[in-house]
């Protein structure tokens, strides 16, 4: 019951935020200099033709009416057409977002797998080398451009050593993508039980996941370490210690209590990476949503850009919603 009320209250916040996102994207669109009708028809168009297009596009209506039309369109999933692919933006995005999400999710999982143990160890062994290492790792990882690190990895592991798959997309050219279920090749090839494809997918994922994972492990280490530092000094851990609990039990308890902060930093990184992975996507020709939006920016194809901006903001909202539900699962205090 408490859960339902919690979700209900949380959903109440989502609606105004959603409205805000659509409003901001609308005003961004309106800020583009120049008359869209004129841009469409070119400078030689006659006044009648311009007027006609303006009334078809609804540009002769008031700003508020235009906003309502825009709102209706976005809510019905119509984000316009991309002139580059000549397809509806919605269709393009549905194909490309799974690629981005797959990359980002696996990278963050990898970052967690290396980040949490190092963070915990650095917090437990104050004077050890691992403590120093983790301090500077955080600063360094935050300073390196991920796209550059990706290039260096390509040079070392593909050009010189020849271990990695060619940095050209998500699959080798000769291999057909698995039947679409989720859109993520990683999951779909597992569902299909096609091990050859799966192996190829993993080979292509390795380098980009390594790049993004190593960079994003920095903040995770830092957060784990500082939270564990605080918790190991806290009253309830001191109590547990004076009760004579073993070191393993104590770490387990402290770690469980540090989960909310780790979750917070993961959600921040996740929302950043939905758009921020675009450079790594370019480096590995990943064909994700960010890359699609970027080519829209560079070719004055505005619909894909706005579609991507709106949808990634919506995905972030969903993400924060899920994270709040996870807080609910982790932190028993929220259940009262």
Report if residue 71 touches another protein, rule: CB under 8 A: no
Report if residue 322 touches another protein, rule: CB under 8 A: no
Distance, C-alpha 302 to centroid of its chain: 21
* Residues in contact with 177: Cβ distance below 8 Å, sequence separation at least 6, in sequence order: 170, 171, 185, 188, 197
State how far the alpha carbon of 172 is from the alpha carbons of 108, 138, 167, in Å.
Answer: 24, 35, 10
Report if residue 262 touches another protein, rule: CB under 8 A: no
Report if residue 28 touches another protein, rule: CB under 8 A: yes
Least spacing, CB of residue 250 vs another protein, in Å:
28
Angle at Cα 272 formed by Cα 220 and Cα 276, nearest 5°?
Answer: 110
Kindly write down the DSSP assignment for every residue of 193-233, as one continuous string. T-HHHHHHHHHHHHHHHHHHHHHHHHHHHHHHHHHHHHHHT
Instruction: Give whichever of 119 and 304 is closer to another protein, judged by the CB atom.
Output: 304
Report the phi/psi class of residue 4: left, alpha or beta, with left for phi > 0 and alpha for psi in -120 to 50.
alpha
Report if residue 151 touches another protein, rule: CB under 8 A: yes
Report if residue 316 touches another protein, rule: CB under 8 A: yes
Quote the tokens at residue 193: 């039980």
Quote the tokens at residue 141: 């990882």
Report if residue 120 touches another protein, rule: CB under 8 A: no
Report if residue 111 touches another protein, rule: CB under 8 A: no
Q: What is the DSSP letter of 332?
A: G
CA distance 91 to 79: 9
By C-alpha distance, which of 212, 215, 218 is closest to 284? 212
Piece in contact with another protein (CB under 8 A), picked from 84-92, 230-238, 266-274, 324-332: 266-274
Report if residue 24 touches another protein, rule: CB under 8 A: yes
Among 4, 15, 31, 243, binds another protein (CB under 8 A): 31
Among 2, 148, 180, 182, binds another protein (CB under 8 A): 148
Among 298, 332, 333, 336, binds another protein (CB under 8 A): 298
State how far the alpha carbon of 114 is from the alpha carbons of 107, 220, 227, 306, in Å.
Answer: 11, 9, 17, 36
Report if residue 308 touches another protein, rule: CB under 8 A: yes
Letters for 158-187 (x = contact with another protein by CB under 8 A, - = none) are xxx------x--------------------
Report if residue 192 touches another protein, rule: CB under 8 A: no
State how far the alpha carbon of 51 is from the alpha carbons of 54, 56, 70, 299, in Å.
Answer: 5, 9, 20, 26
Report if residue 207 touches another protein, rule: CB under 8 A: no
Least spacing, CB of residue 123 vs another protein, in Å:
18
Residues making contact with another protein (CB under 8 A)? 16-17, 20-21, 23-24, 28, 31-33, 136, 139-140, 142-145, 147-149, 151-152, 154-155, 158-160, 167, 271-272, 274-276, 278-279, 282-283, 290, 293-294, 296-298, 302, 305-306, 308-309, 312-313, 316-317, 320
């Amino acid at each position: 019951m408490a859960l339902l009320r919690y979700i209900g209250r949380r959903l109440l916040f989502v609606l105004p935020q959603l409205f805000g996102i659509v409003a901001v994207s609308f005003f961004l669109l309106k800020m583009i200099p120049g008359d869209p009708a004129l841009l469409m028809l070119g400078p030689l168009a006659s006044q009648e033709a311009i007027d006609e297009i303006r009334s078809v596009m609804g540009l002769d209506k008031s700003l508020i009416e235009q906003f309502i039309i825009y709102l209706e369109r976005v809510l019905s999933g119509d984000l316009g057409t991309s002139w580059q692919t000549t397809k509806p933006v919605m269709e393009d995005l549905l194909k490309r977002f799974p690629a981005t999400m797959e990359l980002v999710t696996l990278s963050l999982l990898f970052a967690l797998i290396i980040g949490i143990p190092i963070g915990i160890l650095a917090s437990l062994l104050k004077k050890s080398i691992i403590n120093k290492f983790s301090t500077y790792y955080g600063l360094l990882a935050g300073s390196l451009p991920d796209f550059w690190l990706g290039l260096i990895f390509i040079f070392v592991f593909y050009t010189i050593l020849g271990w990695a798959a060619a940095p050209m997309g998500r699959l080798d050219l000769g291999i057909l993508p698995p039947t679409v279920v989720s859109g993520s090749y990683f999951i779909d090839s597992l569902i299909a039980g096609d091990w050859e494809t799966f192996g190829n997918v993993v080979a292509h994922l390795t380098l980009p996941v390594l790049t993004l994972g190593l960079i994003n492990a920095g903040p995770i280490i830092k957060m784990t370490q500082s939270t564990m530092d605080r918790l190991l000094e806290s009253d309830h851990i001191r109590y547990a210690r004076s009760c004579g609990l073993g070191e393993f039990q104590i770490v387990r308890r402290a770690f469980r209590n540090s989960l909310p902060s780790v979750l917070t930093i993961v959600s921040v990184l996740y929302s950043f990476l939905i758009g921020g992975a675009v450079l790594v996507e370019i480096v590995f020709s990943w064909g994700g949503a960010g890359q699609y939006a970027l080519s829209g920016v560079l070719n004055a194809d505005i619909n894909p850009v706005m579609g991507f901006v709106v949808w990634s903001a919506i995905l972030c909202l969903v993400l924060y919603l899920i994270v709040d539900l996870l807080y609910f699962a982790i932190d028993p205090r929220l259940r009262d």
